[in-house]
Amino acid sequence: MQSSVQPLQGIKVVEFSHMVMGPATGLILADLGAEVIKVEPLKGDNTRRLKGSGAGYFPMYNRNKKSLCVDLDTAQGLQLVKELVASADVVIENFRPDALGKYGLDYTSLAARQPGLVYCSLKGFLSGPYEHRTALDEVAQMMGGLAYMTGLPDKPMRAGASVIDITGAMFGVIGILAALQEKQRTGAGRKVQSALFETTAFLVGQHIAQGAISGVEPPPMSVRQSAWGVYDSFTTADNEKVFVAVVSDTQWGKFCEAFGLTDFASDSRLDSNSGRFDHRSIIIPRLTIAFAQLPTEVLMQKLDTIGLPYAPVNKPMDLVSDPHLNDGGLLAVQLENGVEIKLPALPVQMDQSKFGLRHHPPKESQHAPELLTSLGYSHAQIQQLIADKVVRG
């Protein structure tokens, strides 16, 4: 279970977080080898108990972490958390603005005592007129134009995953790593911020540029005009969908030869992508009929042989049995009830090594004795803190 690749080994992170953005930031650092300590309320992170579309949040974004459940509203609880932070290199938080300030766990208070601390706040908005506002992934997608680009012209739709939470977390990690690198030179820490709205704006920047250059507001992707003559999903003989793309003139020649499209190959109007784009009304119906007669595996094998971009249109659960992901791209994660499930590993590889699993998602306060012992608390003191309901045992 131990990962052999841990470039952030020796970095200690204290995480105050819930939902997706904060935990995903901690997850990435933890997968990279950092010691990430998740500080939870005495009753545990509410994310653990979410149902519906939120049921996967905790198991997906909290592996490789340690858990400490503590009552910050007690003097003893707050003191031991401050001791924990005093030994940390990085603090992560994604609560409402100034939620941690009343405890003296905000950046200004902590940096006064720890000038080398890297403190990452993950919010709805960066500094500006909106910085006081609360946001969620879906709020940012709607406000930032992504839901418009994803949906139909009269029906904006959020993307089918928490893409803004996760991408915002990635930008947070980039900021943390940059601050840690700078600290090597200066000894000084930084307050790093990442936000949902600005993350969304960055993602739709290509469409902003497109509109500025073309003078035409980009339509939603659901009704867009592709830049290529063949760039579509087709139904196979198995009634499954396969996406097929022909994005170069060389690929077009190979494609026509492989599928016996001799008349297309000899049609000078289709020699260039521009011509194929103009004559999609001829090409696409023909391909629709041809591919509908081929089993999915036969079609994909032919496309693979000639080196064309293609993809089966999968559902998320299809990935659990994907042979490529099962070659080191999935981790066997154990849930709190003992059930083992497969979840995607960090999509990064160093040399030939992938990042693995060191700890299953922690049970509530699972590491309390270990963490308090490391701070110098005796067994008797730990038991008293548990008895006083300062810490959950």
- Return d(Cα 69, Cα 91) in angstroms, integer: 16
SS3 of residue 304 by DSSP: helix
Nearest to 162 by CA among 316, 5, 304: 316
CB atoms within 10 A of CB 194: 24
pLDDT reading at 1 higher than 70: no
Give the tens place of pLDDT for each residue, 331-368.
Answer: 999 999 999 999 999 999 999 899 999 999 999 999 99
Question: What does the pLDDT read at residue 334?
Answer: 97
Segments of the chain assigned to CATH 3.30.1540.10? 226-315
Torsion of CA 215, 219, 225, 226, to 10 degrees: 100
Give the tens place of pLDDT for each residue, 198-236.
Answer: 999 999 999 999 999 999 999 999 998 788 999 999 999
Nearest to 122 by CA among 85, 90, 88: 90
pLDDT reading at 4 higher than 80: no
Give the tens place of pLDDT for each residue, 38-77.
Answer: 999 999 999 999 999 999 999 999 999 999 999 999 999 9
| pLDDT band at residue 281 using 50, 70 and 90 as cut-offs | very high
Mean of pLDDT values over 16-45:
98
Question: What does the pLDDT read at residue 226?
Answer: 81
Q: What is the DSSP letter of 391?
A: B
Q: Are 125 and 197 in contact (CB under 8 A)?
A: yes
Question: What does the pLDDT read at residue 3?
Answer: 65
Nearest to 168 by CA among 193, 188, 131: 193
Q: Are 27 and 64 in contact (CB under 8 A)?
A: yes
Give the tens place of pLDDT for each residue, 167-191.
Answer: 999 999 999 999 999 999 999 999 9
Average pLDDT, the chain: 96
Q: What is the CATH number of domain 12-203+328-387?
A: 3.40.50.10540
pLDDT reading at 253 higher than 90: yes
How many helices (H) and strands (E) are present in the chain, helices listed first?
16, 13
> Residue 353's Cα: distance from chain center in Å?
20
- Return d(Cα 284, Cα 352) in angstroms, integer: 41
What are the start-end ranges of the H helices in the chain?
21-31, 57-61, 75-86, 107-113, 137-143, 146-150, 163-186, 196-203, 205-214, 249-258, 262-265, 273-278, 280-291, 296-306, 368-374, 379-387
Predicted TM-score (pTM) of the model is: 0.95
Question: What does the pLDDT read at residue 224?
Answer: 80
Domain 226-315 has CATH 3.30.1330.200: no
Higher-scoring residue by pLDDT: 387, 3:
387
Mean of pLDDT values over 97-111:
95
pLDDT reading at 2 higher than 80: no
Question: What does the pLDDT read at residue 19?
Answer: 97
Token pair belonging to 189: 């820490």
Mean of pLDDT values over 278-297:
97
Q: Are 15 and 132 in contact (CB under 8 A)?
A: no
Token pair belonging to 207: 């469409």
Mean of pLDDT values over 251-277:
97
pLDDT reading at 98 higher than 90: no
